[in-house]
Amino acid sequence: MDIDRRNFLKTGIAGFGSLMLMPACIRQRSPYLFFTLQEAECLVALCEQVIPTDDHGGGATEAGVIHYIDKQLVAVFDYNQVIYQQGISALQTSSLDLFNKRFEVLDSDTQFALLKKLESGKLPKEHWDGVKQVRFFQLVISHTMQGFYGAPRHGGNKNYMSYQMMGLDFPLVVGRNHYKHLN
């Protein structure tokens, strides 16, 4: 009786487990650890607006900021998973409703204008029901800055490209010989 009951429970858990895995299977078709392909396309465009390619050099896309955020969302930023999913989804809702296009295919000026509204919390409330839009954008800004200006080993700042733009030594020069006036 006891054994039967345990087996029943096991089967039940296994069945429930496989149901739970279904969305994860869909996610696995994405090359990302956390994002779906569609989520990633949207976020790549968003991050590129936060740090765009310009005369100084490449922006968030080239630096691989998406990989920084993706990697950290299944590690130390796991508590931010929900706000990322909800925020990206709400941004697409706003974009589709206002411009009839997904965010990543809008032209750059329209993306910028839309994000200015997001920054001040002025996108339609009905698209952002239960999602704090200002908080979401602040989080994306912080994480984009970290991915672009932090160490490449965390997934972004490919080949220390931001350090090259700032004229900082990379890897760090350890020694005092380059401070001529101090010797």
Between CA 15 and CA 11 the distance in angstroms is 6
88 binding another protein? (CB under 8 A)? no
Residue type, 121: G
92 binding another protein? (CB under 8 A)? no
Nearer residue to another protein within complex by CB, 27 or 117: 117
Nearer residue to another protein within complex by CB, 130 or 171: 171
Q: Hey, which residues between 42 and 71 contact another protein (CB under 8 A)?
A: 49-52, 54, 56, 59
Nearer residue to another protein within complex by CB, 105 or 168: 168
CB 71 within 8 A of CB 155: yes
The residue within the footprint of another protein, chosen from 112, 122, 126, 129 (CB under 8 A), is 112
Q: What phi, psi does 111 have (nearest 5°)? A: -60, -45
The crossing angle, in degrees rounded to 10, of helices 133-149 and 108-119 is 120
Residue 34 neighbours by CB under 8 Å, 6+ apart: 27, 70, 73, 74, 81, 84
173 binding another protein? (CB under 8 A)? yes
Between CA 93 and CA 126 the distance in angstroms is 10
Nearer residue to another protein within complex by CB, 2 or 54: 54
Binding site for another protein (CB under 8 A): 49-52, 54, 56, 59, 72, 76, 112, 115, 119, 141-142, 144-146, 149-151, 153-154, 162-163, 165-169, 171-176, 179, 181-182
